[in-house]
Amino acid sequence: MIEFMMFSAVCLAIFVLAKNISKQAQTQSLKPIRIETEEEMRRKLQAKKQQEQDSKHFKD
């Protein structure tokens, strides 16, 4: 009976520690990584090309 109580106490302690560690990891993590969609990548490329064209016009 005593062994069972010791075992359950150890399990409870491990569970509480794991929960605290996961909570800390969530609060200290950086902003979530965002995967760019193809549409956003295409827009960025288009904007970059437009900017290059604009800079060519100013040089001329």
Exposure string of 2-21, with b = 16+ CB inside 10 Å and e = fewer, is: eeeeeeeeeeeeeeeeeeee
* pLDDT tens track for 2-55: 899 999 999 999 999 998 888 776 666 556 666 778 888 899 999 998 888 887
How high is the pLDDT of residue 39? 87
How high is the pLDDT of residue 28? 60
Q: Which residue shows structure tokens 């950086």? A: 30
How high is the pLDDT of residue 59? 60
Between these two residues, 58 and 43, which has the higher pLDDT value?
Answer: 43
The pTM score is 0.40
- All structural domains of the chain with their residue ranges: 1-26
